[in-house]
Amino acid sequence: MTILETTHTGAEDVRWDLSDLYPGMDAPEIEADTKTIDARLTAFDQAYRGKVAGLSAQAMLSALEEYEAIQEMVARIGIFAHLTWVTDTTNPENGKFLAKAQKQQVEYAQRMMFFQLEWRAAPEATTKLADDPILKKYEHYLKVTRLLAPYTLSEKEEQIITELSLSGASGWNRYYSEVMSRSKYEMDGQSLNQGQILKYLYSVERDQRQRAADVFTKGLHDLSHTTTFVFNTLAVNKRSIDKMRGYPSWVASRNLSNELDDADVDALVGAVTSRYDIVQRYYRLHKKLLGYDQLYDYDRYAPVMNEDWHVHWDEAREMVLSAFEKFDPRMSNIATRFFEGHWIDAALAPNKRSGAFSAGTVPSAHPYILMNYTGTLRDVMTLAHELGHGVHQYVSRERGYLQASTPLTTAEMASTFCEMLVFDAVMAELDDPRVRLANRIEKISDTFATVFRQIAMNRFEDAMHTACRTEGELSKDRLSELWMQTQRVMFGDSVTLRDEYSIWWSYVPHFLGTPGYVYAYAFGELLVWALYARYQNEGSGFSGKYLEALGKGGSQWPHEILAPLGVNLKDPTFWHEGLSLIENMVIEAEHEAEALNYQV
């Protein structure tokens, strides 16, 4: 790994090519597909409306195959519009195209929903059809769909909810994303976007970290009227829909979509919050390594080496692919296609969406990855993470559109695993004990952000939705109070959270776009620590079973997919296994620090 003396990353021209979806926004193929969808929807309605409960197994198979094919065509247009928009969220043509696609998706969803509604409403005897061998391919989809039967409304009510989503949750989420993408933060004579200003929280210069945190805080306060209103509006929207559907709690719908029992989620949250002592132990070590008397919120990601590491894009590619190759050549071969096929958009660009994601798109195409590559070692790990998602999405395509995607919980089992592969590969090349300790600290920091911080954010979500339902509209100060309460209990006295940090709830998009999402990160991270321990014990014999599990996508219950890998998600003590492994990594860092004469 090379330490470069320039911030030129090599990713400046790494932009994705979406032509495997459509050649462009004005492509005639889009209009042709739109007409085809309309005709097939009309025929589907005529063939199956009012008849779902009486279908034979063979007739149900034919219906599901057509239903899936139409859904994929609809999704292809929608995902193309979304991926076009995220690379420049301020382009009015992109926004117009996205709005048109979303409107079409709503109309199509309204016309197709009768099929799911009739299946959910079918008599219990009819639902045993899902066990017929003819329907084996769709068995899990049929059973999962039935889980929502108690919370399903009439077709007319469902159509109204779907219609209003454009001006409701979907519309407000788009507005929030555009506001945050447009926002600029002035620092050292530069006008920075969110991703760029937050990068300075990883600076070796403490003064630079503090100034970046303060500049970002000021920007969030400037936006606070908007963000507070959006948070309240979407919380009320969720409360209303949950009430109409009869969900017993704010998170019940998320647990169902993740195919988890409430008790399983409570066990996860309880296990993590019971080990906040690991967080406090780590940050006390971090403080010693930095030589500080006090660690502040802007110091949480401070590196313990005084060099900035810049990894060229080409080297990052080689690091990731070689680590994948060592695990299993099939994984490396699939990941290589992302680079050679221009399936990655990594360049920094004005008004581009911040962060990173891998979009699974549709089985007849392939995934696309978005990230903002700045050349840090953390960005290399992000590349590994998103390629893990991409490999997972690629190998699960054979399950078809209805079952290729996984619940959010098991969606992280490939991404975080791939991070671990690359981390170990990097550590194997490092001889300097100080550099090894610095990289271990960075890995622990990222792990804590994924496990403990996400559960602390889940606790904020829980407090926010509970307060919204008992107190009514929440002020900025009330939201900030809930935020600080849930964050302070995690850090204890190991980190001093300044009052400035109280507004930082307002930049987390998951609270709005996917309520209840964040605990899935902790679920996935702890799951991967357990899986990785099994890989280290089994060696090369593990990769085949692992890739087979990834290839199942969402076609089985999560605990069934993971059982062949030696994981029992139904064991209430399972989560403590992963937490103990994380604690051991902190202990290992302490020993390394002691060997370097740090007073731990």
d(CA 213, CA 533): 37
CB 316 within 8 A of CB 383: yes
In the predicted model, is pLDDT for residue 376 greater than 90? no
d(CA 354, CA 273): 29
Other CB atoms within 10 Å distance of the CB of residue 245: 17
pLDDT digits (tens, 9 = 90+) for 477-494: 999 999 999 999 999 999
The pLDDT score that the predictor gives to residue 307 is: 62
- With a CB cutoff of 8 Å and minimum separation 6, the contacts of 418 are 320, 323, 324, 331, 384, 385, 387, 388, 391
Give the SS3 label for residue 58. Answer: helix
Picking from 595, 445, 500, 450, the residue whose alpha carbon sits closest to that of residue 219 is: 500
CB 57 within 8 A of CB 132: yes
Q: Domain 182-306+450-513 maps to which CATH number in 1.10.1370.20, 3.90.1300.10, 1.20.1440.120, 2.160.10.10?
A: 1.10.1370.20
Least confident stretch, 12-16, 327-331, 394-398, 413-417: 413-417
Residue count (the chain): 600
Q: Select the more confidently predicted residue: 124 or 295.
A: 295
CB half-sphere exposure, 535, CA atoms < 13 A: 20
The pLDDT score that the predictor gives to residue 568 is: 86
Q: Once rounded to an integer, what is the mean pLDDT over residues 332-340?
A: 98
pLDDT digits (tens, 9 = 90+) for 101-130: 999 999 999 999 999 999 999 998 788 899
The pLDDT score that the predictor gives to residue 4 is: 39
* pTM, to two decimals: 0.84
Give the SS3 label for residue 7. Answer: coil
Instruction: Decide if 18-167 and 182-306+450-513 have a common fold.
Output: no
Q: Once rounded to an integer, what is the mean pLDDT over residues 172-190?
A: 92
Q: Once rounded to an integer, what is the mean pLDDT over residues 385-392?
A: 97
The pLDDT score that the predictor gives to residue 354 is: 84
Q: Please provide the CATH number assigned to the domain covering 18-167.
A: 1.20.140.70
Q: What whole-number percentage of the chain has pLDDT above 90? A: 82
Q: Order of strands, edge to edge, in the sheet holding 357-359?
A: 344-345, 368-370, 357-359
Mean residue pLDDT of the chain comes to 93
The pLDDT score that the predictor gives to residue 377 is: 86
DSSP lists the bridge partners of residue 191 as 186
The 3-state secondary structure of 358-393, one letter per residue: EECCCCCCCCEEECCCCCCHHHHHHHHHHHHHHHHH
Q: What whole-number percentage of the chain has pLDDT above 70? A: 98
The 3-state secondary structure of 72-97, one letter per residue: HHHHHHHHHHHHHHHCCCCCHHHHHH
d(CA 338, CA 559): 30
d(CA 502, CA 482): 9
d(CA 249, CA 247): 6
CB 504 within 8 A of CB 395: no
d(CA 266, CA 494): 26
Picking from 405, 393, 395, 350, the residue whose alpha carbon sits closest to that of residue 369 is: 393
Q: Once rounded to an integer, what is the mean pLDDT over residues 328-337?
A: 98
Show me where the domains of the chain are located.
18-167, 182-306+450-513, 313-431+519-595
DSSP-derived letter for residue 309 is -
